[in-house]
Amino acid sequence: MDSIKPLEFALAGTLYKRFVLWRAEFLLALSNSYLGLLSFILGTTIPAFQSQLFPLVPLSLMLVLSLLMTIWKRPFLFLLLLNVGLLLATYRFGAHLETQFPPRWERKEIQLVGEVIGMPKKQDQDISFQFRVRNQVLPLDLEHLIGEKLQLACYRCPLDIVTTQQWKFTVRLKRPHGYSSAGAFDYEKYLFRNKIVAKGYVRLKSENIKLRNASANLAQYRIGVKNRLLASLKSESAGFNIIVALSIGDKSSFSSKQRRILQDSGLSHLIAISGLHIGLVFICCFGLTGLVLNRTPILFESCPKLYLCLFCALVCAFGYSALAGFAVSTQRALVMLLLFSIAKVGVRDTSLLKVLLIAAVVILLYDPFSILDIGFWLSCGAVVVIHFSARNGEKVSLLKLQPMLWLGMAPLTVHFFGKLSLMSPVLNLFAVPLFCLLLIPLTLFAVLLNEIGLTVIAKPALHFLDVVYVKIFILLDFLVSHSFASISLPTVSWWTILVLMLLVMTYRFKSRWRWWFLVLYPVLLLFPAAAATEKPSLKIALLDVGQGLAMVIQSSEGVTVFDTGPRYSSGFTAANAVLVPYLRSEGIRKVDRLIISHADNDHIGGLQALRQSIFVKKTLTSRTDKIPSASECLAGQTWSEGMTSFLFISPNKGTPKGSNNRSCVLRIQHGSISFLITADIEKQVERFLLSQGQTLESTIMLVPHQGSKTSSTPEFIEIVNPKLVLVAAGYLNHYGHPHKDVIERYNHKGIPVLSTIDSGTIEIEIDEHGYVVEEHRVVQKRFWHWRNNTNENI
């Protein structure tokens, strides 16, 4: 939604405010209808799949019309609730879009006064934190930022930044912009869901002033718990990370390897505080309160014992959820436990599914942005599977439940993560009882002792748990290192997920219906993988890896990867974030040739990450001194894969010196279509290639050196004579790539220019008839995504 008129906001706002006043009555009526509950949830879900939000005036009119229809005939209630959910989500999403950071102030210095919120994350000398603008924004035309959240970083930071402090900062900001590629994490969606309007960094200037010291609040207490655990354990091991995750829900300390181990083993759900943990605390507190009251009956003479047990259990569950930062999964669990307690007090039976639906409605009423949370879908999905695993309310053994949870959650797992753990059903049979009956209660008890000052008991217990968790990690690392531990699958569509979940429901029916489940389920789940194995004639993808280069070339007989993108000082690599997820989304499990054009970080940075994730058969590079196991790429080397031929045209002995100039240059020919990959060559090599009389003319060309002023000479463009050129560059990168003058040269000759900045990953499918271009930002556009071309150079 590019803009919303004031009249639309006024009308929608009035309806929304009145709706808020009627929430209690609305929930009471809603709780009696499965269809009504599902309709409201569906209404809030619809905008999540839109490229542009619906206008509010038509939605408001539809709401009024559905209200009149409901008054006329009650069966139309579901339609009213659908429109209520749709209008609520659209209004809240649209209101947040109106607060986005204006492009004209990107990369310019701004002064802000505000408060540090959440838990700042420190890595070496760098600090990243969220900042809520409170007042005094300079320049004045940015006053709409007051009250909004920013994601800030302070590099090589001499400042002691702590939550709840108030600061005056000089910052440089830009709009949210993340990788846009198949399988990659949608960072723009994450920022939108968390209501963050801009990201940037603090300029280290004398104008940065701390205006107020930290004050006590929940976030400050959570940080204190972590620091006191660190003081007791003295080291940040894998065991420490698990103890912190189970006690305060902070998983930021896990390394990428540790996260991969947990995901591949299928045990992530045991470490992330969710409904399982909140329910466990509720049950333990309920039981302990009952034991205490049995010995002191005088306490419940004036109040029934059940009421006191439920109240104490709810208080403990609420406190644990607060420690976890009130994540969406804990909110859902809290609401469900509250509804369960009300049903117990009222001596009423209600189904698990209805309790879940009411809980989901309550969460979405309070925060429609929760519909964008992965945790919301995983948490609700698990409860749905548990509900349909039991027939006629019967109890289900863990032996039967774990396979059903694995099968039922497989579609969502593959959709969100692109992988499925094959070890999960077996490991969970042992891990769930171990964690739920022993390790989690012991961990929480040890943390409680540490908090109340009984460190004499707490320290030995924490050290014991630390050792146990480290041993568990070592065992898991060994198990998931085998190729059969997990399988990568292409993304499952939401329609397929819906059908698969319906199949899971058939388990409750008579045995003949289960045959449909057994036959259709694996077919539908694996169908995308089977479809992905059908290789195109030639498919070339220029991946959106920011300021760097990574390409995937799929022919009918092999897969070639050209460069692997950058690696950052934090250990984050574009290969793990973009390249490997893309390969998995395409069903690729082996790379036949890996070409590293040269040794600059933005090209070689993801080499190790790629090799650790996917088998690479052969590596070629111009810098065998950096990659001793690789063969050297030299001009004249050629090979064929079906109808596709590959030819290196540089470097050779006469190529001008320099890391960029010695880049591998590859020309691909498929029928009448050719593609020239130039890597980072500069004008000296361009002129040298022209003097060598090489065949350079190509249908499509990768613009040399990300569009730097040192490349793309007019003579080179003239000889290559491309019909389309592609640019691999990062959004608002500090090099200024692609340079305005360079783009003008291509525009002057009428050559279309596509950039990963605007298009995300660019895929080109080539056959004997020509080529088709697909831009990921266009195909997968959602209303929260970065849009409009603000890069001055394109």
| pLDDT over 50 (residue 191) | yes
pLDDT at 2: 47
- 319-323, 326-330, 512-516, 538-542: lowest mean pLDDT where? 512-516
CA distances from 38 to 42, 81, 412 (A): 6, 9, 19
User: Taking residues 271-295, what's their average pLDDT?
Assistant: 87
CA end-to-end span of the chain, whole Å? 23
Instruction: Give whichever of 61-65, 110-114, 547-551, 650-654 has the largest mean pLDDT.
Output: 547-551
CA distances from 87 to 21, 58, 90, 294, 639 (A): 16, 10, 5, 51, 58
Instruction: Give whichever of 373-387, 511-525, 638-652 has the largest mean pLDDT.
Output: 638-652
| pLDDT over 70 (residue 383) | yes
Average pLDDT over the chain reads 86
- Quick one: CA dihedral 413, 417, 423, 424, positive or negative? negative
Q: Which residue has the higher pLDDT, 531 or 686?
A: 686
- 367-371, 419-423, 724-728: lowest mean pLDDT where? 419-423
Name the percent of the chain lying above pLDDT 70.
88
| pLDDT over 90 (residue 701) | yes
The model's pLDDT over 159-177, given as tens digits with 9 standing for 90+, comes to: 889 888 999 999 999 999 9
pLDDT at 34: 78
User: Taking residues 391-418, what's their average pLDDT?
Assistant: 77
DSSP letter for 620, please.
Answer: E
pLDDT at 793: 43
CA distances from 250 to 49, 544, 632 (A): 30, 30, 46
| pLDDT over 90 (residue 698) | yes
Backbone region of residue 484 per phi and psi (left: phi > 0; alpha: psi in -120 to 50; beta: other values): alpha
User: Taking residues 106-115, what's their average pLDDT?
Assistant: 90
Greatest Cα pair distance, the chain, in angstroms, is 100
Residues 6+ apart with CB under 8 A from 597: 549, 562, 563, 603, 621, 622, 663, 664, 665, 679, 680
Strand ranges in 532-657 using DSSP code E only, listed in sequence order: 538-542, 550-555, 559-564, 590-596, 615-621, 631-632, 638-641, 644-650
Name the percent of the chain lying above pLDDT 90.
45
* Tokens 């846009």, residue located: 180
- pLDDT-derived band of residue 266, with 50, 70 and 90 as boundaries? confident
DSSP letter for 699, please.
Answer: S
- pLDDT-derived band of residue 3, with 50, 70 and 90 as boundaries? very low
pLDDT at 176: 93
pTM greater than 0.85: yes
pLDDT at 791: 47
- Measure the CA–CA gap between 517 and 414, rounded to whole angstroms: 18
Instruction: Give whichever of 11-20, 490-499, 648-657, 750-759 has the largest mean pLDDT.
Output: 750-759
| pLDDT over 80 (residue 198) | yes
Nearest CA-CA partner of 175 in 153, 154, 196, 203: 196
Instruction: Give whichever of 493-507, 514-528, 739-753 has the largest mean pLDDT.
Output: 739-753
- pLDDT-derived band of residue 636, with 50, 70 and 90 as boundaries? very high
| pLDDT over 90 (residue 233) | no
Residues 6+ apart with CB under 8 A from 295: none
Q: What is the dihedral of CA 495, 498, 504, 506, to 10 degrees?
A: -100
The answer to whether the peptide bond before residue 55 is cis (omega within 30 degrees of 0) is: no
pLDDT at 474: 92
* Strand pairing category for 700-702 and 486-488: unpaired
- pLDDT-derived band of residue 246, with 50, 70 and 90 as boundaries? very high
Q: Which residue has the higher pLDDT, 123 or 719?
A: 719
- pLDDT-derived band of residue 235, with 50, 70 and 90 as boundaries? confident
pLDDT at 748: 92
pLDDT at 21: 47
- pLDDT-derived band of residue 1, with 50, 70 and 90 as boundaries? very low
Nearest CA-CA partner of 705 in 569, 475, 548: 548
User: Taking residues 450-476, what's their average pLDDT?
Assistant: 91
| pLDDT over 90 (residue 605) | yes
- pLDDT-derived band of residue 508, with 50, 70 and 90 as boundaries? low
pLDDT at 24: 47
Nearest CA-CA partner of 81 in 40, 45, 42: 40
Whether the CB-CB separation of 516 and 503 falls below 8 Å is answered with yes
User: Taking residues 390-398, what's their average pLDDT?
Assistant: 65
Bridge partners (DSSP) of residue 114 are 133, 167
Nearest CA-CA partner of 644 in 609, 679, 672: 672
What is the helix (H) or strand (E) element at residue 251, kind and residue range?
none
